[in-house]
Amino acid sequence: MAQAARGRLAVAGGLLAAGILHALSFAPGPLPGWLLPLLHLVTLAVLVRASLTAATPRRAAWGGWLFGLGMFCTGVYWLYISMHTYGFMPAPLAAGGVLALSVYLALYPALAAGLTRWLLAPGAAASTPRIALTWAAAWAAGEWLRATVFTGFPWLNAGYAHVDSPLAGWASIVGVHGVAFAAALSAAALALLWPALGAAGRDGGPRVIGLRHGAAVLATGIALGGWGLAQIQWWRPAGEPLRTLLVQGAVDQNDKFDPALLQAGLQRHLALAARPAQDAANPPALIVLPETIMPVFQDRLAPAVWQAWIDLAGQRDAAILMGAPIHARAANTITNSVIRIDGDTALADLQAGQPGHRYDKRHLVPFGEFIPPGFRWFVEAMSIPLGDFNRGPARQTPFSVDGQHVALNICYEDVFGEELLPALFPGDDGSPGATILVNVSNLGWFGDSWALRQHLQIARLRTLETARPMLRATNTGATAVIGPDGVVQAELRAMHAGTLDVSVQGTSGLTPYARVGNVPAVGGIVLILAFAAWRRRARHG
């Protein structure tokens, strides 16, 4: 019995360690980018094998939870920085907050592992496709639920580990959840290539050989299918390239909301935006600044502050997009917004919160932009200016600049891929669909952490789903230009002030994913799980 207990403890420790290593696969940094997809599949295969060989579904779920705990404690450690370093929350409480979130998020891998073991009893006669499809559907279902329940937290979705692998080709067809399904399918195939599952495999009999051959064929087919899909160009150039200046202010988060330093931060951004163009004959027609470079509501700033930006827009003959919290007096609403400033923008309209064109954030951050019921105490423990913001509508008219149509998203809105799709289509008001996506963020809350690289990987997959280039203007990084093929074309060094003066080609055309969203992926997952449940019921009478 003691030996059995030691064995279970070793398995538990191995799964926790595998989860920790799994977290390293979602962005380059500790490891080079080329290694990430392989690490992701190998560590996930460890969980697949543990789930399929667990004595009971409860044991499998426990193993999945340990794997998830290691994964999320490691992968989102940077939340501690925002709560403790910048929110001044006591270290034990901040660490407890990260742990509590990880405990919750680990329930989804637990669900996938337990459900797989319940549907596939050890020793049951099942083919390689059935085993792999059941696991992949259970895992992808957990990923989709995690992205949906309680407004969703889809960070560290399996799909983001494969932006640079052949599986990325599936993104244009079935989106990130489809890529997650393909990754889980590949991990299951890898697990089945290991020594046989259960007693039936210890003799290396025909079933084992069949499982291994089937697994090899399945893994090869998934990769080749993704590679082939990646060769299809779903987009075509739209209009002329748009000369754009992206600004990265690198204002320390502790300074950003200090009233004594507010003016210095604004002057830094103004000076960066006013830098001479690289090509005087082709100056930027669009200048993009990060989220909330104005850290207070627009009606609390002196008129001279806004006039300086209007004057700059006029001098440069450019449209300036900047993040600012807006108090719209007439509607009595507050929003996290991006506003457009042109040389002819009326000062009175800006101060009233009614510029000619603005984008209002629609997917708000829990605790940051709205306070969930019962958690007021948690917010009060942090010295961060938080509040309850109003949400923007699902589709908002893209900003038109020199023939290009620019659709905005703010901060982690680009984590929710399906929510970006309405902007790609013409609006009911006759406005055209977007040809360029722009994300403005302030990841200064997380310091020089892994969050910056993780967010860039997420944005890269969004471009594959939508066949649109994405511009990212951030306070501390990663400020970058990403092509419609997911390739980073230019990037600023993180945590340093600077600008990117770039030419961006807008695109048109719709991927299959853009047309139908998550419906095929989620529908397929549900059908596979329903079939597996039916087979289980038939097996057990």
Q: Which residues contact 21 (CB under 8 A, 6 or more apart)?
A: 39, 43
Alpha helices by DSSP H, listed for 274-375, are: 303-316, 347-351
How would residue 124 be classed by pLDDT, with cut points 50, 70 and 90?
low
pLDDT on residue 217:
77
Are the CB atoms for 436 and 459 separated by under 8 Å? Answer: no
First to last CA, the chain: 34
The answer to whether 73 is a known catalytic residue is: no
Q: Are 15 and 66 in contact (CB under 8 A)?
A: yes
Amino acid 538: pLDDT: 81
Is 291 known to be catalytic? yes
pLDDT score recorded for residue 88 = 87
Among 185, 287, 337, 180, residue whose Cα is nearest residue 504: 287
Task: Report d(CA 51, CA 138) in Å as an integer.
Answer: 11
Q: State the catalytic residue, choosing from 143, 256, 369, 411.
A: 411
Give Cβ neighbours of residue 132 (< 8 Å, ≥ 6 apart).
Answer: 185, 188, 189, 192, 215, 218
Query: Please, what are the domains in the chain?
Result: 2-233+518-539 (no CATH), 277-510 (3.60.110.10)
Cis peptide before 478 (omega within 30 of 0): yes
Q: What is the pLDDT of residue 198?
A: 44
For the chain, percent of residues with pLDDT exceeding 90: 72
Q: Is the pLDDT of residue 458 over 50?
A: yes
Ordered alpha helix ranges (H), 125-261: 128-146, 171-192, 206-230, 253-256
Q: Is the pLDDT of residue 199 over 50?
A: no
- Whether the per-residue pLDDT at 387 is higher than 70: the answer is no
The residues near 106 (Cβ < 8 Å, ≥ 6 apart) are: 64, 65, 66, 67, 68, 69, 71, 72
pLDDT at 504: 98
465 is catalytic: no
Q: What mean pLDDT do residues 205-213 have?
A: 57
Among 73, 143, 256, 361, the one annotated catalytic: 361
**3-class secondary-structure state, position 169:** helix
Q: What is the pLDDT of residue 383?
A: 54
Least trusted range by pLDDT, from 257-266, 274-283, 314-323, 377-386:
377-386
Q: What is the mean pLDDT of residues 466-489?
A: 97
Residue 123 contacts by C-beta under 8 Å, 6 or more apart in sequence?
Answer: 198, 199, 200
| Closest-CA residue to 406 (of 428, 438, 429) | 438
Structure tokens at 336: 């996290």
Write out pLDDT tens, residues 224-238.
Answer: 999 999 999 999 999
Instruction: Look at residues 150, 107, 115 and name the one whose alpha carbon lies nearest to residue 134.
Output: 115
Share of the chain above pLDDT 70, in %: 91
Residue 205 has a pLDDT of 54
Q: How much is the pLDDT for 201?
A: 44
Q: Which of 76-90, 305-319, 359-373 has the lowest mean pLDDT?
A: 359-373
Q: Which residues pair with 502 in a beta bridge?
A: 244
Kindly tell me if the per-residue pLDDT of 13 is higher than 50: yes
What pLDDT, on a 0 to 100 scale, did the predictor assign at position 472? 98
Decide which of 127 and 240 is more confident.
240
pLDDT at 295: 86
Q: Which segments of 329-438 does DSSP mark as H helices, in order?
A: 347-351, 376-380, 417-420
CB atoms under 10 Å from CB of 233, counted, come to: 12
Answer yes or no: are the C-beta atoms of 539 and 501 closer than 8 Å.
Answer: no
Work out the pLDDT band at 436, boundaries 50, 70, 90. Answer: very high
Over residues 517-540, the mean pLDDT reads: 92
More confident residue, 355 or 128: 355
Instruction: Check whether 375 has a pLDDT greater than 80.
Output: no
pLDDT of residue 171: 98
Q: Which of 73, 143, 256, 291 is catalytic?
A: 291
